[in-house]
Structure 1
Amino acid sequence: MFQLNIFLNLFRKNGVFSFTGRINRSKYIIRSLIFLLMCIGNMFLMLGTFHLLGDKPISWIIVIAVGFFIILYSLANSIKRLHDLNLSGLWILLWIVLIGLISNFLGYSTAKLTNNIISFIIWVIMISLPGSPGPNKYGEDPLSTTPPTA
């Protein structure tokens, strides 16, 4: 039961898979680096899984399941960063749609490079802008030194 509580806490308010609350720039940078390490780890998992098990459905299930949690982690943290900027998490859809449109209209190799450049620019903007001071409609200021009001 104890392990289940640890797992469920990841999805509760302010958990790493939660879409509520706010995170500041430094926490977003750290979590972005963790996301990068998770992607690299998933690549090695994919190589190892396909090497050991071959191209079987279980190999695909393992890699896709891990990839799903990695994407969920990234979306949750990006939305929390948008909340700190006092923006709705729906702004993430603009990013996703923009990348999808570029991929649709450009060839694969060009779209891949362009999408990476756009994603990097958006990431730099998100780490450059300071969060809204004080509480906003998404929660308390993560840099606040006063305890949250009940």
Structure 2
Amino acid sequence: MTQARFKIVFDGELMPEMALETAKDNLARLFKSDRTRINSLFSGSTIAIKRNLQESEADQYLAALHRAGARARKEPDPGASLSLVEINTPTSAAAEPAHMSCPKCGQQQPKAAECMACGIVIAKYQARQASLAEQQSAAPAAPAEAAANSPYATPQAKVAEALPPVGELNVFTLDGRIGRLRYLAWSLVLTLAFAGVMAVVAIAASISDILGGLLAIGVVLGMLVVSVQIGAQRLHDIGWSAWLLLLNLVPIVNSLFWILMLVVPGSTGANRYGPPPPANSLAVRVLAGLFLTLLIGSLLSLFLGGFAMLGLALSGLELGALDTPAP
């Protein structure tokens, strides 16, 4: 008895709470394809993504597509069991149905020699599928090579590859993701390291102005590069592009944007920049709290200092008004 075969079909629907752009990025990464081909999956018509699968294989593909955000479904694939004998069997015109289903993409249409959706010549496609089935039964050790020769072969990428549960941490890279607390902790460590290295540069400057100047330029450029790398990973965690760091060059906007980087939470699961970062350690939480304490203390000092200067200015105006002789 021939084992039932299945196909995976998709009509553009998404899983609950899944954004369209995120689903497209996940599918592009899953199929190892470009966004142009992925966009064609969301044309609104029903498309057969994978055909001629055993039930276990179909379930595996279906689970991977659901994780990526595509609400695909599994359906029986009657076209996979066609043979040349069935194709060449004559039938009467009265028995032929008025409509047909494309054996490749499943498009429902009036009976015709070609599919209106994918454009295949149906008879040639069925003959080729039957020939491939006979080759696979005659030489089961090389099914992939036979399928690769078909002009209608479906993508061979393994879609069941799962992302790791959490990403790897690396300060010196533009890839990956970090959360808000780790961003604060790494920024504090970078600031302290910069202060320590600048103390050494000051000693070198006392010996030679040229040497001190060159070292200072190198240290500043190094800190700028690492700051960009840390900021890029923070933006990736939110799901934003690292190019938004250019907003730091705009006055006033840069302060508001930095606050957004500290306030907006990251994506709960994987996004187009990779899996979520690892959980925060105790050291990360302590360093982040210390950074916030120093930041709040500095802001309070500036506020109180400005308030005191304003009070002195007002007092000076009052004294000046008292010293002015009456007319």
TM-score, normalised by the number of residues in structure 1: 0.65
> CA contact under 8 A between 2:237 and 2:266: conserved in structure 1?
yes
SS at match of 1:130: coil
> CA contact under 8 A between 2:194 and 2:219: conserved in structure 1?
no
> CA contact under 8 A between 2:177 and 2:236: conserved in structure 1?
yes
Question: Tell me, which stretches of 5 or more residues in structure 2 are unaligned?
Answer: 1-167, 280-327
Deviations 1:33-77 (A, max 9, x none): 1122133224323321211x2212x32222222222211111100
* Structure whose CA Rg is larger: 2
Provide the residue aligned with 1:123 in structure 2.
Answer: 258
1:66 aligns with 2:219: yes
Of the candidates 208, 221, 232, which is equivalent to residue 54 of structure 1? 208
Deviations 1:69-117 (A, max 9, x none): 2111111000100000100000001222x14xxxxxxxxxxxxxx6xxx
1:28 aligns with 2:183: yes
Q: In the TM superposition, what are the counterparts of 1:3-42 in structure 2 within 5 Å?
A: 14-42=169-197
Provide the residue aligned with 1:82 in structure 2.
Answer: 235
> CA contact under 8 A between 2:183 and 2:234: conserved in structure 1?
yes
Change (3 A) 1:76 1:125: same
Aligned length in residues: 112
- The two structures, once aligned, show a CA RMSD in angstroms of 2.1
Provide the residue aligned with 1:106 in structure 2.
Answer: none
Percentage identity across paired residues of the two chains: 29
Provide the residue aligned with 2:274 in structure 1.
Answer: 139
Question: Tell me, which stretches of 5 or more residues in structure 1 are unaligned?
Answer: 1-12, 100-113, 145-150
Displacement of 1:119 after TM fit? Answer: 4.8
TM-score, normalised by the number of residues in structure 2: 0.32
Structure with the larger helix share:
1
Amino acid at match of 1:71: L
CA separation in 1, counterparts of 2:274 and 2:180?
15
CA separation in 1, counterparts of 2:201 and 2:258?
26
CA separation in 1, counterparts of 2:239 and 2:246?
16
RCO (CA 8 Å, sep 6+): is it higher in 1 or 2? 1
Amino acid at match of 1:40: A
Displacement of 1:14 after TM fit? Answer: 4.2
Deviations 1:4-43 (A, max 9, x none): xxxxxxxxx7421100010011110101111221332243
